[in-house]
Chains A and B, each alone.
Chain A
Amino acid sequence: MKQWLERGRGLIMGSAHGEALVSLRAFTFAHGVDPSTGVVTDVRSDVKGMNVKGKILFYPFGKGSTTASSWFLETVRLGNNPAAVVTESVDLSAVIGSVMARVVYGKEVPVMSGVPLTAYSGLKSGDEVFLDAAKGEVRREE
């Protein structure tokens, strides 16, 4: 397998290790992820039916309702949250959801942005990925 390593900007620091879940479309937790299971329900998502729980979740940008951070927080409360989130442009919902996770439940969900959508094509859902937000680095385990 070819080395896959991308740099971006760490927004919420921390490191994470897990399977990648890669969406190439606008993504939202609001009405789009069932917090009680972590399963993506959004019919317009290319990862519908997949589970975000414990994953390093990649998507280019967010969409829709400003309630997304509370849907995110509910997945955290129920233990069904992703291990980290990586986007191309900043998704404020993920940032705020992660801050709330830290402040309310003491849980770390690192968030990175600035990883270009074109980079996602070198990666597929299920690949094992390591993320270090402080270094601004996300790479596939070889």
Chain B
Amino acid sequence: MHLDSAQEKALRGGLGEAKQFAMEIVSKVGDAVGADELVPIKSAHVLAHYSSLHDAGVEVLERFADSGGRFAVPTSVDPASIDLQNWESFGIPEDYARQQLRLCDAYTRMGGMRCWTCVQYQVCNFPKEGDVVAWAESSAVVFANSVLGSKSNKMTAGMDVACAVLGLTPKFGMLLDENRLANVAFRLNLKGLTDLDYRSIGFFVGRNAGARVPSLAGLPSSVTSDQIKHLGAGAAAAGPVTMIHFPGITPGSKTTAEASGGERVEEIEITRSSLSDIESDLNQTSEFPDLVAFGVPHLSVNELGELAKQLDGRKLKKGVRMYAYTSSPAYDMAERTGISTIIERTGARISHSTDAEISPLKALGFNTVLTNSAKLAEIVSSEGEIKVGYAQQKEIIERVTS
């Protein structure tokens, strides 16, 4: 990979220790993936949650912060592994919280935006069409490429912060127009889609696209950005997908043919039975849960409002907790508009700045989780310690409230 003189200087240490560390990482990754050059980014999104970064990740982030690393571009951050405001009341062990707070401190010292969310594009980080960004968070990368028309590769932990410190990323993969063309076309022939259907459709696309870029036609014109958010998260949980062309929604892809650059590609039909297969794979238990989790990825304030409507007048049954996960700004808005009051008087809680899949669920004593999130269902069952049920939000509420 070619480095210009300023980038060479950074690599030699002439711009300080943090930039040298960052440039070592970025140049090695660039070389490995066959990039020719580094290009400027408009924003970054990084990871700083202890459950996935582990002690190695604490070491890395503190090394950046301690050596003077500061973010060169607006940078947002994924949720933490604990509710940063109320972690004690959620029963988080103190030594666990301490490691998370070290990550928070390092991130904050580096000048990041404190929005702690996996839906930064709904909260604090708004690139426009054509902008190159370096984002972590697989579901957000899908949203950036597919809906916003921005360009991002999946920047995984370590590389995310290195790019943010330099304000640069290697030019490869989804930054190159030729790699963004669809080479498999999914078609949906279903009406009356439920909340669960959107997640299952995503999971089906992710599983069957493999390493190809999919297009997906047939979504109703009423589809919301929240529904696409959950669809994309399901897809990214099931496979390596970083972009889905939605004809008529994705910038530059008015039709399925345009999405594939006019090439004929394999077509895959999504039927009711495709979705039933996904549901029975993800729904691994029908046992009564000890935790119901909504909001992987984070619920918007609209979705919290919808949940409040469905919960209004009900009471949570004994032996089960219900957490709705959201971003801090959406939490504040829910507080101000009375949505929180309705949700909380049923016995449920809203948790912000963290999310279920990156919380220490096992350590908190949960053994059976029920959710409408394909991403959470996939992740929880992957770790193999907790049983998971997968069902529609309405059905879940019927089961666990009276």
Measured in the bound complex, the distance between the Cα atoms of B52 and A67 in whole Å is 6
A34 CB to nearest chain B CB (Å): 8
A89 CB to nearest chain B CB (Å): 4
Measured in the bound complex, the distance between the Cα atoms of B156 and A91 in whole Å is 10
B29 CB contacts on chain A under 8 angstroms: 92, 95-96, 99
Closest to A41 in B: B384
Measured in the bound complex, the distance between the Cα atoms of B136 and A88 in whole Å is 22
List 11 extra interface pairs beyond A67-B47, A69-B157, CB under 8 A.
Answer: A61-B211, A61-B239, A64-B238, A64-B379, A66-B138, A67-B156, A70-B157, A71-B52, A76-B56, A93-B154, A103-B21
As a 0/1 sequence over residues 155 to 175 of chain B, the CB contacts with chain A under 8 angstroms (1 = contact) are: 111111000000000000100
A119 CB to nearest chain B CB (Å): 15
As a 0/1 sequence over residues 18 to 47 of chain B, the CB contacts with chain A under 8 angstroms (1 = contact) are: 000100110011001100000000000001
The answer to whether B47 and A60 touch across the interface, beta carbons within 8 angstroms, is no
Q: List 18 A-B contacts (CB under 8 A).
A: A26-B239, A32-B383, A35-B54, A43-B381, A44-B281, A61-B239, A61-B240, A65-B138, A67-B47, A70-B56, A71-B52, A77-B56, A92-B156, A93-B154, A96-B155, A96-B157, A102-B28, A103-B21
* A30 interface residue (CB < 8 Å to B): yes
* A115 interface residue (CB < 8 Å to B): no
A125 CB to nearest chain B CB (Å): 19
The listed residue with most A CB atoms (<10 A of its CB), out of B47, B211, B237, B284, is B211
B357 CB contacts on chain A under 8 angstroms: 31
The answer to whether A12 and B211 touch across the interface, beta carbons within 8 angstroms, is no
The answer to whether A63 and B33 touch across the interface, beta carbons within 8 angstroms, is no
B281 CB contacts on chain A under 8 angstroms: 44
The answer to whether B211 and A73 touch across the interface, beta carbons within 8 angstroms, is no
Closest to B238 in A: A63
The answer to whether A69 and B21 touch across the interface, beta carbons within 8 angstroms, is no
As a 0/1 sequence over residues 1 to 40 of chain A, the CB contacts with chain B under 8 angstroms (1 = contact) are: 0000000000110000000000000101011100100000
B265 CB to nearest chain A CB (Å): 17
* B153 interface residue (CB < 8 Å to A): yes
The answer to whether B210 and A66 touch across the interface, beta carbons within 8 angstroms, is no
Closest to A88 in B: B211
Measured in the bound complex, the distance between the Cα atoms of B21 and A103 in whole Å is 8
The answer to whether B382 and A66 touch across the interface, beta carbons within 8 angstroms, is no
The answer to whether B52 and A99 touch across the interface, beta carbons within 8 angstroms, is no
A90 CB to nearest chain B CB (Å): 6
Measured in the bound complex, the distance between the Cα atoms of B59 and A99 in whole Å is 15
A127 CB contacts on chain B under 8 angstroms: none
* A137 interface residue (CB < 8 Å to B): no
The A/B interface has a contact count, at CB < 8 Å, of: 159
As a 0/1 sequence over residues 104 to 142 of chain A, the CB contacts with chain B under 8 angstroms (1 = contact) are: 100000010000000000000000000000000000000
The answer to whether A63 and B240 touch across the interface, beta carbons within 8 angstroms, is yes
A100 CB contacts on chain B under 8 angstroms: 25, 60, 157-159
The answer to whether B25 and A77 touch across the interface, beta carbons within 8 angstroms, is no
Shortest Cβ-Cβ A-B pairs, 10 listed? A67-B52, A70-B157, A69-B156, A74-B54, A89-B211, A41-B384, A11-B32, A66-B136, A42-B382, A77-B56
B385 CB contacts on chain A under 8 angstroms: 41
B2 CB to nearest chain A CB (Å): 18
The listed residue with most A CB atoms (<10 A of its CB), out of B63, B157, B173, B239, is B157
A103 CB contacts on chain B under 8 angstroms: 21, 24-25, 28
* A82 interface residue (CB < 8 Å to B): no
Measured in the bound complex, the distance between the Cα atoms of B52 and A35 in whole Å is 10
Interface range on chain A: under 10, 10 to 19, 20 to 34, or 35 or more?
35 or more
Measured in the bound complex, the distance between the Cα atoms of B22 and A96 in whole Å is 12
* A54 interface residue (CB < 8 Å to B): no
**CB contact under 8 A between A43 and B157, given known A63-B239, A66-B137:** no
* B197 interface residue (CB < 8 Å to A): no
The answer to whether A65 and B210 touch across the interface, beta carbons within 8 angstroms, is no
Measured in the bound complex, the distance between the Cα atoms of B385 and A63 in whole Å is 20
Q: Which residue in A30, A42, A62, A90 is a CB contact (below 8 Å) of B33?
A: A90
B270 CB to nearest chain A CB (Å): 19
Closest to A102 in B: B28
The answer to whether A64 and B156 touch across the interface, beta carbons within 8 angstroms, is no
Measured in the bound complex, the distance between the Cα atoms of B24 and A30 in whole Å is 24
The answer to whether A99 and B32 touch across the interface, beta carbons within 8 angstroms, is yes
**CB contact under 8 A between A31 and B382, given known A66-B137, A66-B154, A74-B55:** yes
* A68 interface residue (CB < 8 Å to B): yes
A96 CB contacts on chain B under 8 angstroms: 25, 29, 155-159
Q: Which residue in A44, A60, A92, A95 is a CB contact (below 8 Å) of B382?
A: A44
A126 CB to nearest chain B CB (Å): 23
B28 CB contacts on chain A under 8 angstroms: 12, 99, 102-103
B350 CB to nearest chain A CB (Å): 23
B112 CB contacts on chain A under 8 angstroms: none
The answer to whether B240 and A89 touch across the interface, beta carbons within 8 angstroms, is yes
**CB contact under 8 A between A62 and B382, given known A71-B54, A96-B29:** no
